[in-house]
Chains A and B, each alone.
Chain A
């Protein structure tokens, strides 16, 4: 993983997450803004998949368990489309909160991925 790209991703995921949770709690149904944020998080995750494939080939392999890393990454990639689809099918303010929660979960997963990639306790 690349540090600056990971930080950027986590920052955007947290931002999109907090925004959607706040907008949702203000009783607004999913909008282009909140869903766009989740979509951006999703696109960046796909870029992260590319990074995770290319980085080991250019001398930046994961120090931790690569399977665990990929389990997190694949789970994270699935989340934005599912959350967006959910929000499109059920246009309630709580769906906006759900989209935000998904983005925040992705931020946590990205942090876990970076820990697995770089720091190994065992």
Chain B
């Protein structure tokens, strides 16, 4: 076996280590949100247009965030910040609205009740995402084990 500590391999991607887990969770949420919103919009959009539109927005945000976390460069880094900030803003806004005024969302979205239907993962994930991003600025890349 080669020694891991003496000569760390040069990472070509921006993401590594625990960041991989973050990307995996974002990817799974993107998959779930896309499947759910596609079905909702195709089958009974008229029942809850606002909630279903939000589900679709959620799907797009999660897909963008997943890609932005993996892709390299300053631009993608900014996109990652924007999508993750947007995600936090929406989970808080929609979460609060769904508690205060349930009639506004006759059908659940990913973000209803702060993402309780997804075990609050949508609430926790953007915070972890922001922590990760602030520690991994492009240009100041560190190699993780």
List chain A positions with a Cβ less than 8 A from chain B.
Answer: 65, 67-68, 71-72, 74-75, 78-79, 83, 86, 90, 92, 94-95, 97-98, 101-102, 105, 108-109, 112, 122
| Complex partner residue of B17 from A71, A78, A94, CB under 8 angstroms | A94
B35 touches A101 (CB 8 A): no
B39 touches A68 (CB 8 A): yes
Q: How far is the CB of A43 from chain B (nearest CB, A)?
A: 20
Q: How far is the CB of A41 from chain B (nearest CB, A)?
A: 14
Interface residues on B, range: 20 to 34
| Complex partner residue of B107 from A92, A95, A122, CB under 8 angstroms | A122
CB-contacts of B9-26 with A (<8 A) = 16-18, 20-21, 24-25
Q: Which 3 A-B pairs have the closest CB atoms?
A: A71-B35, A98-B24, A67-B39
Q: Nearest A residue to B31 by beta-carbon distance?
A: A75
With A65-B43, A67-B42, A68-B40 as contacts: A75 and B24 at CB distance below 8 Å:
no
Q: Is the interface of B mostly helix, strand, loop or mixed?
A: helix
Q: Nearest B residue to A69 by beta-carbon distance?
A: B39
Q: Nearest B residue to A78 by beta-carbon distance?
A: B31
A-side contacts of B119, CB under 8 Å: 108
B24 touches A101 (CB 8 A): yes
A82 to B31 alpha-carbon distance, docked (Å) = 12
Given pairs A67-B43, A72-B35, A122-B106, 4 additional interface contacts (CB within 8 A): A72-B32, A83-B24, A86-B24, A94-B18
| Complex partner residue of B32 from A75, A83, A92, CB under 8 angstroms | A75
B118 touches A108 (CB 8 A): yes
With A67-B42, A67-B43, A71-B35 as contacts: A102 and B28 at CB distance below 8 Å:
yes
B38 at the interface (CB under 8 A from A): yes
A30 to B119 alpha-carbon distance, docked (Å) = 26
A65 touches B39 (CB 8 A): yes
A-side contacts of B16, CB under 8 Å: 94
B21 touches A71 (CB 8 A): no
A94 touches B39 (CB 8 A): no
